[in-house]
Chains A and B, each alone.
Chain A
Amino acid sequence: MRAPWVSAVACIGFGLGGVSSVHAADYFVQVSGVCSDGFVGGKGEGSLANFAGITSIDADVNQDNSMAQATSDLRAVLDTYCSGDDWCYVYTYSNGGAVASRTLSLYDTDWNIYWVMSSGSNEGGSELARTGIAADIFLGCDLASDITPSDHRGGWNHNDTNGNTFYMVAGEDGWWYSSFLLPGEDDGAVAFHSAGGFNSTFNVDSLCFDQSFYYDNHVVAFTCEGFPDDHYETKMRGICELGGC
């Protein structure tokens, strides 16, 4: 029943005259997590997605020092691959979700982005960021101590996504200390309140609540219960679910 609607919409949409634009290339921009400067390799064994007709990009975003540096770097990546006649999908892992949220919130640039998918997102910050365990999880760099819930939730307006939808993908296979340090369900490094895009540090064991309890334009993708992944395994989860691994 649904396929004809798309066809009808497409006919109407492309028949507007003056609305249709040139479309040159599609990119799949992959942004990794804290203490990284690229998506490929590292903890979680990241690799570039393989989608027909789409060129995958390992985003050169330095997340060693500060969110300011990372934000500036991602801005440059988006300028390169998501502007002019080119369009992109943005895929983030862990703190890359926070970097994408911050970048889209701060700048007023109308980048050509289909959507953003954040897997194991640290957009709402991690309670581990100021613990001794953080060094093991996040490798250990200056930025690793600046990604707490207070830093990330107080640092920018997450509801301003510049009109882009964030699809949130979460894991629920926490590690031995998870219940000690992280509220609610988690993947060992980030709690559901962060990975799910909630607008506060809710103590929740499910990802699905009324939409009003999320940042604007944030929706949970695939599953309400989370995938049986730890934080590292979430790195490729969204890509694989889309058929790109």
Chain B
Amino acid sequence: MLAGAALVASLAVVYALFGSTEEDGLDDTGSAIAIAPTKQQLSPTAEESGRQPSQPALFANQNRPEPSRSMKDDLEHRRESMLARYLREARFPPNSRPLTWSHEDLLNPNQRHEQAKRSEDNPDIRYLLTADRYAVVGPQSLVATLDVWKDDVPLSPAIQAAHIRVVKPELGPLVPITFGLDGERAIARFQPSALLDGPHTLKLQLSVTFDADNEARQSTAINIEYTPSESIPARFTGGFSERVDAGSLLVDAEIEVYRPGYYVVDANLWSNGEPVAWTRFKGELSAASKSLPLEFFGKVLRESGLAGPYLVAQLRGFRFDEARAPDQDRIETAELSHETLPYALEVFSDQDWDSERKRRKIEALQRATLAPPSGMVKPQHQPGSSPVEIE
């Protein structure tokens, strides 16, 4: 207990001393950086892709640090900053952390990221082959689309060939895919399960060859991850139970395990439409396992300022087997959610995460002889200055 109290005291001292380093508009080298990161729309063409061009941030300090400034000169300061950064991040455990609107990857975990490409033969021609999801599980359908533009005007592509094939673990035969036209857009909707099967997850490639406006023939392709029905390792039953344990919210998600092994499961927590937290389970599940625990760390809930009832949603996960490639068999996903009881924030702990591994890490960082500086700073709050994605 004495050691624990001393640790808490030491952490408080460290955090008080260094925790504000990035708040004061200074970077880790002490240089002043004025920041007004803005991403503004630059005449976006809505058809081009999900990612629109944005204006870069503006920085008062445009001078790049001189590479000759040796790390050894201010190792101690960098070590302080490194430790302070770790302490800020380690207020929460690695697998149960705040969820914000900026976590686009966690809010839309199965989204794709293709961007329109320009033809190497004619830069006026752009095209985008993409789909509505990256991973397909069991009988789910995939909707693939091909858009083509010339001088930003949509064109109808003339599909010459479209195929899907397994590329991992072994190269499979080409299976034809039929595209139709929806306006100027070529679109294909199909179930991989009707075309392909296998005992484990497959990596697929969808390839399309097309002509557009008498220009040179183009070929493009995207990858898809597909878990066939027979390789789905488990399913969520839809049952949940919950409790407050050691100041954190624990939600047990009922699961039926078909294949024992090492599982990874993610989930998001919401409050009245606002993102609150994400959590992650990593561990072994046996055939006898009836549920898995999803921990939402108390301090995350307290700092969110958002009381219950909460909504546990966006459950997704997989069984991981490092001996195979692909190595993830995905759990069948469903639109499952669980609304918790109402909770006052005060029932959750506002204590920082503490563990033996954290103490060992702090000790290690205090003796580290290599400490990178960071040019990253937390911007001073300026209304309207935050980067905003423009759809």
| Chain A residues engaging chain B, CB cutoff 8 angstroms | 2-3, 5-6, 8-10, 12-21, 23, 26, 28, 51-54, 65-69, 71-72, 75, 87, 89, 106-108, 110, 112, 114-115, 117, 125, 127, 130-132, 142, 145-146, 148-151, 153-155, 157-163, 165, 167, 180-181, 183-185, 199-217, 219-225, 227, 238, 240-243
Partner of B373, one of A28, A65, A149, A221: A221
* Chain A CB within 8 A of B189 CB: no
**Which residues of A lie under 8 Å from residue B93 when comparing CB positions?**
163
The answer to whether B89 touches A217 (Cβ under 8 A) is yes
Stretch with Cβ within 8 A of A (4 or more), from B97-105, B143-151, B250-258: B97-105
Please give the distance in Å from B291's CB to the nearest CB on chain A.
Answer: 18
The answer to whether B168 touches A115 (Cβ under 8 A) is no
Number of interface residues of B (CB under 8 A): 109
11 contacts between A and B (CB under 8 A): A13-B10, A21-B363, A69-B325, A114-B370, A145-B167, A159-B97, A203-B53, A206-B59, A208-B35, A208-B57, A227-B64
**Which residues of A lie under 8 Å from residue B86 when comparing CB positions?**
165
CA distance A97 to B97 in the complex (A): 22
Q: Report whether over half of chain B's contact residues are helix, strand or loop; otherwise say mixed.
A: mixed
The answer to whether B76 touches A3 (Cβ under 8 A) is yes
**Which residues of B lie under 8 Å from residue A149 when comparing CB positions?**
113-115
A16 and B6 in contact (CB under 8 A), knowing A208-B376, A220-B374, A223-B64?
yes
The answer to whether A208 touches B326 (Cβ under 8 A) is no
* Chain A CB within 8 A of B313 CB: no
Please give the distance in Å from B98's CB to the nearest CB on chain A.
Answer: 9
The answer to whether A114 touches B364 (Cβ under 8 A) is yes
CA distance A115 to B368 in the complex (A): 10
Which residues of B (366-386) have their CB < 8 Å from a CB of A? 366-370, 372-379, 386
The answer to whether B13 touches A8 (Cβ under 8 A) is yes
Which residues of B (146-186) have their CB < 8 Å from a CB of A? 167-168
Partner of A19, one of B3, B62, B325: B3
Please give the distance in Å from A226's CB to the nearest CB on chain B.
Answer: 8
The answer to whether B59 touches A153 (Cβ under 8 A) is no
**Which residues of B lie under 8 Å from residue A8 when comparing CB positions?**
13
The answer to whether A20 touches B363 (Cβ under 8 A) is yes
CA distance A132 to B119 in the complex (A): 12
**Which residues of A lie under 8 Å from residue B95 when comparing CB positions?**
160
**Which residues of B lie under 8 Å from residue A114 when comparing CB positions?**
364-365, 368, 370
The answer to whether A221 touches B372 (Cβ under 8 A) is yes
CA distance A5 to B15 in the complex (A): 11
Please give the distance in Å from B111's CB to the nearest CB on chain A.
Answer: 7
CA distance A30 to B104 in the complex (A): 30
Partner of A163, one of B56, B94, B280, B325: B94
The answer to whether B123 touches A180 (Cβ under 8 A) is yes
A223 and B65 in contact (CB under 8 A), knowing A130-B222, A203-B51?
yes
List 4 tightest A-B contacts by C-beta distance, closest first.
A154-B134, A205-B56, A68-B325, A149-B113
The answer to whether B363 touches A200 (Cβ under 8 A) is no
A75 and B322 in contact (CB under 8 A), knowing A89-B370, A217-B89, A241-B67?
yes
The answer to whether A209 touches B51 (Cβ under 8 A) is no
CA distance A75 to B369 in the complex (A): 24
A5 and B373 in contact (CB under 8 A), knowing A12-B9, A16-B3, A211-B378?
no
CA distance A16 to B4 in the complex (A): 8
The answer to whether B377 touches A208 (Cβ under 8 A) is yes
CA distance A15 to B100 in the complex (A): 38
CA distance A125 to B113 in the complex (A): 9
CA distance A157 to B357 in the complex (A): 21
The answer to whether A209 touches B369 (Cβ under 8 A) is no
The answer to whether A10 touches B100 (Cβ under 8 A) is no
* Chain A CB within 8 A of B25 CB: no
The answer to whether B364 touches A243 (Cβ under 8 A) is no
Which residues of B (71-88) have their CB < 8 Å from a CB of A? 71-72, 76-77, 79-80, 82-83, 85-86
The answer to whether A165 touches B76 (Cβ under 8 A) is no
A160 and B370 in contact (CB under 8 A), knowing A154-B110, A154-B112?
no
The answer to whether A199 touches B94 (Cβ under 8 A) is no
The answer to whether A2 touches B76 (Cβ under 8 A) is yes
The answer to whether B71 touches A242 (Cβ under 8 A) is yes
* Chain A CB within 8 A of B333 CB: no
CA distance A14 to B14 in the complex (A): 14
Partner of A148, one of B51, B62, B223, B282: B223
* Chain A CB within 8 A of B227 CB: no
CA distance A167 to B102 in the complex (A): 20
The answer to whether B89 touches A112 (Cβ under 8 A) is no
Identify the interface centre among A19, A28, A68, A125: most chain B CB within 10 Å of its CB. Answer: A68
A106, closest chain B residue (CB):
B320
The answer to whether A222 touches B326 (Cβ under 8 A) is no
CA distance A100 to B192 in the complex (A): 31
B283, closest chain A residue (CB):
A108
CA distance A54 to B94 in the complex (A): 27
The answer to whether B372 touches A222 (Cβ under 8 A) is yes
Please give the distance in Å from A25's CB to the nearest CB on chain B.
Answer: 12
* Chain A CB within 8 A of B389 CB: yes
CA distance A238 to B374 in the complex (A): 12
Please give the distance in Å from B208's CB to the nearest CB on chain A.
Answer: 12
